[in-house]
Amino acid sequence: MTPVILLTGFLGSGKTTLLSRLLNSENFKDTAVIVNEFGSVSLDHEMVRHADESIITLGNGCLCCRSQSDIAIALNDLRRRRAESEISFQRVVIETSGLADPVPLLKALGTDLVAAMDFELAGVVTVVDAVAGLRTLDQYEEARRQVAMADQLLLSKTDLTSDTQGILARLASLNSSASVSMASQWDGVYPRGSSVFRQELAGQSVLHSQEFGTVSIIRETPLLAVTIPLFLEGLSSQLGERLLRVKGLICLEESPDRPMVVHTVQNMVHVPQWMDAWPSADRRSRIVLIGHHLPQSWPGLLLDVLDAEARSVAAHATVQSR
């Protein structure tokens, strides 16, 4: 599978500068790029200094507002050209326009059957301007959603300011589960899979900004497998568009040695995956919800009730079968 990285960030945050640097580095030398620009004249792709022709520009319109098949068409075009030995690449970066909402993009990617045959989502990288970022986040919901959906946050223009405490605190309040690095130092090594949970989630800690926030659920005892789809269905049916993302590393009673990795984007559930082993000695189930106006205790309680109900049904079935 070829990993696809969604590179996002508000207008002027430094996405193109970052991409240009990365494409000339060893880690990203075999990278195909899909550039989405907002405006009638495409410029960004000209600014990306790259040696070969593996750059596709989707111009004149924000990718998240266009038909969902645009991404699939672009990915399929890359795949065809690779199959015909016209180009070669080992990963794809989709650089969104600065106004793009990552949610519909991720849903479009995640539900495209053709794209899913060759590509997998590596994650969302969001660039945030250290100088203007606070003001941008205050003013624009698109910018807040870009941060809320990120797996990796990159702070750009840190050479122009020494005061990054405010912006770092704001980023943590919007998305406490993402890793944060300096854009100028980031080498493209992506925090994958379970490493997104490396941040300490202390108990039921909840960090909330005015709108967007993170709810963390940690459970010591393994959960029944049937509880998980019910839980995700309950979240989607009751929280609706408030919920932007769920990430989970879950210990199942039926498979305690192989944690299940769950990713959802709003109401779309990615195919769950099982790791070969736990990445650390910590075998607790950890689930992170990202969204806006999320209730703090309700999701964890829903999980507990559904697990209790599943156990009650299983116990009843056992009695009946005797």
What is the rounded distance in angstroms from the CA atom of residue 34 to the CA atom of residue 5? 10
Q: Pick between residue 21 and residue 247 the one whose CB is nearest to other proteins.
A: 247
Q: Name which of 75 and 100 has its Cβ closer to other proteins.
A: 75
Coil, strand, or helix at residue 66?
A: coil
Q: Give the span between the Cα atoms of 318 and 302, in whole angstroms.
A: 24
Q: Which is nearer to other proteins, 15 or 292 (CB)?
A: 292
Distance between CA atoms of residues 65 and 199, nearest Å: 33
Least separation in angstroms between CB 133 and other proteins: 27
Give the nearest distance from C-beta 82 to other proteins in angstroms: 18
Q: How far is the CB of 144 from other proteins (least distance, A)?
A: 19
Q: Taking the complex as a whole, how short is the minimal distance between the CB of residue 156 and other proteins, in angstroms?
A: 24
Of the two residues 99 and 305, which places its CB atom closer to other proteins in the complex? 305
- For residues 298 and 305, give the distance between their C-alpha atoms in angstroms, rounded to a whole number: 10
Query: What residues line the site for other proteins (CB under 8 A)?
Result: 1, 3, 107, 109-113, 115-116, 119-123, 192-194, 229-230, 232-234, 236-242, 261, 263, 265-271, 273, 275, 295, 297-298, 301-302, 304-306, 308-309, 311-313, 315-316
Q: Nearest approach, Cβ of 242 to other proteins (angstroms)?
A: 7
Helical packing angle, 102-110 and 141-148, nearest 10°:
50
Residue 43 pairs with which residues in a beta bridge? Answer: none
SS (H, E, C) 170-183: HHHHHCCCCEEEEH
Q: Which is nearer to other proteins, 128 or 294 (CB)?
A: 294
3-state SS record for 212-258? EEEEEEEECCCECCCHHHHHHHHHHHHHHHHEEEEEEEEEECCEEEE
